[in-house]
């Protein structure tokens, strides 16, 4: 029961606060969506703190992408992997609180001033950054497919899902499940 609530690693009070504070900060930086913060979550949780292995980080994102719902839910899975249900709650609250306050305060103002030079420059300047962040997220998530020796079936699966996503209206949920089943059947 305790493992479910708090996970297997026991975080100190300061570590709980650090986890919450890091997600609070990332919430404010998530311009272009929650997925752009994935590389920094990886850097923080896997490299800096060592709370998660690289493998379970990628697995967490895959699980969240396979489930229906907004992709911000990968944050809940990461929080759960680090520190159980309490970790999921802390990570989600941290990720949503600042952005919610800003969204409710700023949306009306932004829509009113969307022609203003500053707003247009903000949008134009951050667009290439968002794309760069998405590319690095994709690179990071593909790590298991290119460890030591390239895993060609997995890389092929990845390329196929890029093409399918660009050229068909197939739901991502089905693509993820099909990819998982293919890997299961062929033992990739």
Enumerate residues 68-107 that contact other proteins by CB under 8 A. 68-73, 76-77, 80-81, 85, 88, 92, 95-96, 98-100, 102-104, 106-107
Q: How far apart (Å, rounded) are the C-alpha atoms in residues 116 and 9?
A: 49
Q: Which of residues 125-154 bind other proteins (CB under 8 A)?
A: 125-142, 144-145, 151, 154
Which of 5, 17, 122, 152 is close enough to bind other proteins by CB under 8 A? 122
* Minimum CB–partner distance for residue 149 and other proteins (Å): 14
Residue 179 near residue 163 (C-beta atoms within 8 A)? no
Residue with tokens 């829509």: 111
Q: Which of residues 10-49 bind other proteins (CB under 8 A)?
A: 25-37, 39-40, 43, 47
Burial profile 162-179: b = 16 or more Cβ within 10 angstroms, e = fewer: eebeeeeeeeeeebbeeb
* Minimum CB–partner distance for residue 35 and other proteins (Å): 6
Which of 18, 24, 86, 110 is close enough to bind other proteins by CB under 8 A? 110
Angstrom distances, CA of residue 101 to CA of 9, 55, 66, 69, 70: 32, 34, 29, 21, 19
Q: Which is nearer to other proteins, 18 or 66 (CB)?
A: 66
Q: How far apart (Å, rounded) are the C-alpha atoms in residues 66 and 62?
A: 6
């Amino acid at each position: 029961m305790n493992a479910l609530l708090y996970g297997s690693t026991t975080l100190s009070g300061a570590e709980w606060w650090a986890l919450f504070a890091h997600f609070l900060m990332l919430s404010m930086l998530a311009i272009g969506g929650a997925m752009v913060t994935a590389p920094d979550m990886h850097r923080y949780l896997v490299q800096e703190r060592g709370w998660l292995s690289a493998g379970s980080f990628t697995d967490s994102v895959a699980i969240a992408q396979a489930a229906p719902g907004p992709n911000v839910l990968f944050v809940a899975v990461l929080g759960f992997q680090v520190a159980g249900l309490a970790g999921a709650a802390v990570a989600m609250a941290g990720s949503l609180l600042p952005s919610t306050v800003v969204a409710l305060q700023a949306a009306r103002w932004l829509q009113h001033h969307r022609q203003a030079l500053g707003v247009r420059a903000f949008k134009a300047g951050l667009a290439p950054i968002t794309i760069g962040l998405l590319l690095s997220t994709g690179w990071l998530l593909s790590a298991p497919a290119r460890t030591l020796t390239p895993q060609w079936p997995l890389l092929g699966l990845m390329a196929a899902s890029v093409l399918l996503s660009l050229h068909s209206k197939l739901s991502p949920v089905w693509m993820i499940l099909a990819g998982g089943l293919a890997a299961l059947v062929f033992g990739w």
